[in-house]
Structure 1
Amino acid sequence: MNLPDITELARQDAADGVQQQIVGAVVDHKGEILLLRRLPGEFRGGAWELPSGKVEPGEDLLTALHREVAEETGLVIDEITGYLGAFDYTARNGGHYRQHTWSVVPRDADNIELSEHDAYRWVDAEQQYPVSDDLKRQIAAHFG
Structure 2
Amino acid sequence: MTVTSDLARTLTEEAEAEGITTFVAAAVVADADRILLVRRKPDDFMGGLWEIPSGHVDAGESLLDAARRETQEETGLTVSSVDRYLGHFDYENSRGTTTRQFNFAVTVAETGPVILTEHDLHQWVNPTGDLQGVTDGVRKVLTSA
The answer, yes or no, to whether TM exceeds 0.5 is yes
In structure 2, what is the equivalent of residue 77 of structure 1?
A: 79
Q: Structure 1 unaligned segments of length 5 or more: list them.
A: none
Aligned-partner Cα distance in 2 for 1:86–1:13 = 10
Aligned-partner Cα distance in 1 for 2:65–2:128 = 31
In structure 2, what is the equivalent of residue 137 of structure 1?
A: 140
Q: Structure 2 unaligned segments of length 5 or more: list them.
A: none
8 Å CA contact 1:29–1:106 kept in 2: the answer is: no
Aligned-partner Cα distance in 1 for 2:107–2:144 = 16
Three-state SS of the structure 2 residue aligned to 1:63 is helix
Aligned-partner Cα distance in 2 for 1:52–1:117 = 11
Three-state SS of the structure 1 residue aligned to 2:37 is strand
Letter in 2 for 1:42: D
Aligned-partner Cα distance in 2 for 1:125–1:67 = 24
Alignment of 1:33-112 (within 5 A): 33-112=35-114
8 Å CA contact 2:128–2:143 kept in 1: the answer is: no
TM-score (normalizing by structure 1) = 0.93
Deviations 1:40-90 (A, max 9, x none): 222222111110110001101001010000000000012222111011112
RMSD: 1.3
Aligned-partner Cα distance in 2 for 1:46–1:15 = 33
In structure 2, what is the equivalent of residue 2 of structure 1?
A: 2
Deviation at 1:104, TM superposition (A): 1.0
TM-score (normalizing by structure 2) = 0.92
Post-superposition, which runs of at least 4 consecutive aligned residues in structure 1 deviate over 4 A?
A: none
Aligned-partner Cα distance in 2 for 1:19–1:94 = 13
8 Å CA contact 1:19–1:95 kept in 2: the answer is: no
